[in-house]
Amino acid sequence: MAIDRVLIDLGLHETEARFYLAALELGQAPMRDVAAKAGISRTNAYDVFARLLEQRLVGQVPGPSSRTMLIVAEAPERILEIVEERRRKLEFVLPELRSLHNRSASKPKVRFHQGAEGIKAVLEQTNACRSKQLLGILSMRDLYDVPGRAWMDNLVERRIEAGVFLRVIRSPANDLHQLWPESETDLRALRYAPPDFVFTMTSYIFDDTVALISSRQENFAMTIESDEFATMQTHFFEVLWAASQPHRASGRNARGKLVALRSKA
């Protein structure tokens, strides 16, 4: 890993890391030389120098004339001192942070994700469910629109590899019947909702989380982490599951409905 990347990871700004490394390599040098080696303007260099001076990572020594001052970098061990100082500060407030975390444990966490990448991020979470039991109400056509068939097929493959079993309800009018059938090998149990139920959104329930994925029209995803909400949504799922038809019993009816819909179009 590059040295400047390590310094940035430890909390320095990119220009601060470049300035410090330049000063360290030059030994003692005027501001213009350090700025040039660091690749920053002299105007910005003075601001960067002031910030590093406050952290005691650089200093000044008299130059060859009474009017000049040279920049000098402090020994690299100073970086370890800074890390240790920050660790002590964190330890001081850690009990209070833990207290805040405990108080917020019972509060639901709602996260909103915009666009295709946000939708993918939420879908990725479903494969990481701890219980290995996933409940889904899917709009197949919308999922094959966003985030797309190839990506979704890969997600399904990784779900199977992760050993996550999916119980899924799909609506016949918005389905793709040749894809994702009920399969023990694919860890999937499938039922079809009553014909009047047409899903344009997808929802998943896993652990203490409910995930909602919109169609391309609104293009967002949302997760709600809440034991109570997940329990309630699980009850709703079970009611709909009981009212839905098993895959083998509903296949012909679902296909017939699609044919009828197309003939009316």
pLDDT digits (tens, 9 = 90+) for 200-251: 899 999 999 999 999 888 889 999 999 999 999 999 999 999 999 987 644 4
CA dist 238 → 123, 168, 191, 243 (Å): 21, 11, 11, 9
pLDDT computed for residue 106 by the predictor:
66
pLDDT computed for residue 145 by the predictor:
82
Mean pLDDT is highest, among 101-110, 147-156, 157-166, 254-263, for 157-166
pLDDT at 255 over 50: no
Mean pLDDT is highest, among 87-91, 101-105, 155-159, 181-185, for 155-159
User: Comparing C-alpha atoms, which of 166, 198, 183 is closest to residue 248?
Assistant: 183
pLDDT computed for residue 251 by the predictor:
43
Task: Answer yes or no: are the C-beta atoms of 213 and 147 closer than 8 Å.
Answer: no
pLDDT at 31 over 90: yes
The tokens 């499938």 sit on which residue?
Answer: 190
* Measured distance CA(34)–CA(57) in Å, rounded: 14
pLDDT computed for residue 104 by the predictor:
54
What are phi and psi for residue 113, nearest 5 degrees? Answer: -130, 130
* Measured distance CA(42)–CA(33) in Å, rounded: 9
Non-local (6+) Cβ contacts of 194 within 8 A are: 243, 244, 245
The tokens 């213009």 sit on which residue?
Answer: 32
pLDDT at 137 over 50: yes
Sign of CA dihedral 237, 242, 248, 252: negative
pLDDT at 263 over 70: no
pLDDT computed for residue 77 by the predictor:
93
Taking residues 108-113, report their average pLDDT: 90
Which of the four pLDDT bands, split at 50, 70 and 90, describes residue 169? very high
pLDDT computed for residue 70 by the predictor:
93
Least confident of 46-50, 78-82, 119-123, 251-255: 251-255
pLDDT computed for residue 160 by the predictor:
94
Taking residues 139-165, report their average pLDDT: 88
Beta bridge partners of 183: 188
pLDDT at 56 over 90: yes
